């Protein structure tokens, strides 16, 4: 139930019939039957097409009623989606139903939950969506880790080329080793730009991952974010080191600083992301999302003990 019906339908009809009677009387008195006929037609049309007056003639005013409680859970207005949490709850004296009112669109809401047959299905749907959400989060986190790994370990291959070993080595009796070996390409301007872009992308990946972590896992303690943004780049760096140590031991002189630069860039991006992640997300939301919809993301403010800008919350809490 969203709206309180405060006027019975019979009262509504009697008001309309009164209007119809007045139109007839004025038609008879004035003698101008054409104008009056139009008036009568309009009243009849209104009776048929006008939606039922939902609030009734007299508005229920919550201001004069004693506040019996506040909405304690996240409940969203059916009309505009506004979060009704913290709104005052009053008892409607005519129906004894506990009601609250949306401060955005003035719609009335029953303060207590109504249980319908849709409820168990909504629970099942919520479980399904939660599972999908978990898959999305895991694959999102996995993608960032994978991209960091590619940026660190795989990209180094782009700086190298294969070189065929001299025939004297390959054809030497008893030689069973590889015929090619990795060799560093000449460090020209293009390669330097390529390295700079890759190291920057490592920074961006670290930052992005940390921002997502602070937003999606906003229930974590802060030190867990720092543990994650330190551990993942270090593990990636170690695995990249061993991969290249096996593949191209002769290039380790270049490979180690290269991997180290990526690891540092990822950690730096991660630390900046942890510190500025939620403020950054809040800034984006303020830019992109109008205030009535922000109540869905209010947790980003509430988790840091802040007021949601543009979203009124009850000052009594
Ligand atoms: Zn509303």
- Please tell me the number of Cα atoms within 13 Å of 175 on its side-chain side: 13
Centre of ligand 1 to C-alpha 101, Å, is: 8
Tokens of 132: 């999908």
pLDDT of residue 185: 86
The Å distance, Cα 54 to ligand 1 centre, comes to 15
Query: Which pLDDT score, from 0 to 100, does residue 111 have?
Result: 81
Residue 283 CA to ligand 1 center (angstroms) comes to: 25
Strands, DSSP E only, in the chain?
A: 67-70, 88-91, 98-101, 108-110, 160-164, 180-184
Residues 6+ apart with CB under 8 A from 289: 297
- CA 78 / ligand 1 centre spacing (Å): 6
Look at residue 214 in the predicted model and tell me its pLDDT: 94
Residue 279's pLDDT is 94
**How much distance in Å is there from the Cα of 106 to the middle of ligand 1?**
6
Closest Cα partner for 255 from 246, 64, 80, 215? 246
Report d(CA 282, CA 297) in Å as an integer.
9
Cα of 15 vs centre of ligand 1, distance in Å, is 29
| Domain residue extents for the chain | 9-110, 120-302
Q: How far is the CA of 311 from the centre of ligand 1 (A)?
A: 12
Cα-to-centroid distance, 82 and ligand 1 (Å): 5
Ligand 1 centre from 108 Cα, in Å?
8
How far is the centre of ligand 1, averaged over its atoms, from the C-alpha of 46 (Å)? 27
Residue 28 confidence (pLDDT): 57
∠ CA 2-291-207, nearest 5°, is 130
Q: In angstroms, what is the span from residue 102 Cα to ligand 1's centroid?
A: 5
Ligand 1 centroid, distance to 289 Cα (angstroms) = 17
- Tell me, in angstroms, the distance from the centre of ligand 1 to residue 304's CA: 26
pTM assigned to the model: 0.62
Strand order in the sheet with 98-101: 67-70, 88-91, 98-101, 108-110
Q: Regarding beta strands 160-164 and 67-70, do their DSSP bridges make them parallel or antiparallel, or are they unpaired?
A: unpaired
**Distance from Cα 76 to the centre of ligand 1, integer Å:** 8
From first to last of its 317 residues, the chain has per-residue pLDDT tens of: 344 444 455 555 555 555 656 656 665 566 555 665 666 666 666 656 554 444 444 566 777 888 888 888 888 888 888 888 888 899 888 888 889 988 888 888 888 776 677 888 888 999 999 999 999 999 999 999 999 999 999 888 888 888 888 888 888 888 887 888 888 888 889 889 999 999 999 999 999 999 999 999 988 999 999 999 999 999 999 999 999 999 888 888 889 999 999 999 999 999 999 999 999 999 999 999 888 788 788 888 888 888 888 766 544 33
Predicted confidence at residue 7, as pLDDT, reads 47
pLDDT given at position 56 = 47
Distances (CA, A) of 31 to 38, 40, 166, 261, 298: 13, 14, 118, 96, 64
């Amino acid at each position: 139930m969203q709206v309180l019906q405060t006027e019975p339908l019979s009262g509504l009809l009697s008001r309309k019939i009164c209007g119809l009677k007045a139109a007839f009387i004025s038609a008879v008195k004035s003698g101008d039957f054409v104008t009056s006929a139009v008036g009568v037609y309009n009243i009849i049309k209104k009776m048929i097409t006008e939606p039922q007056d939902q609030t009734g003639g007299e508005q229920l005013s919550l201001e004069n009623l004693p506040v019996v409680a506040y909405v304690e859970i996240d409940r969203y207005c059916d009309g505009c989606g506004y979060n009704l949490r913290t709104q005052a709850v009053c008892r409607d004296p005519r129906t004894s139903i506990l009601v609250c009112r949306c401060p955005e669109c003035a719609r009335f809401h029953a303060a207590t939950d109504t249980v319908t047959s849709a409820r168990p299905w909504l629970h099942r749907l919520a479980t399904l969506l939660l599972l999908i959400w978990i898959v999305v989060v895991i694959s999102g986190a996995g993608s960032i880790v994978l991209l960091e790994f590619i940026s660190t370990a795989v990209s180094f291959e782009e700086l190298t080329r294969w070189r065929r070993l001299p025939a004297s080595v390959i054809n030497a009796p008893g030689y069973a080793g590889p015929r090619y070996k990795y060799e560093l390409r000449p460090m020209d301007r293009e390669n330097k730009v390529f390295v700079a872009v890759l190291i920057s992308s490592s920074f961006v990946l670290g930052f992005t991952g940390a921002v997502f972590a602070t937003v999606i896992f906003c229930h974590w303690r802060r030190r867990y974010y720092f543990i994650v943004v330190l551990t993942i780049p270090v593990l990636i760096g170690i695995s990249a080191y061993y991969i290249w140590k096996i593949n191209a031991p002769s290039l380790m002189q270049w490979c180690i600083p290269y991997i180290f630069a990526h690891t540092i860039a990822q950690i730096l991006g991660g630390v900046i992301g942890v510190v500025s992640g939620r403020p950054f997300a809040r800034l984006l939301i303020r830019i992109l999302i109008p205030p009535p919809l922000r109540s869905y993301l209010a947790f980003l403010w509430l988790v840091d003990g802040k007021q949601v800008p543009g979203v009124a919350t009850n000052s009594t809490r």
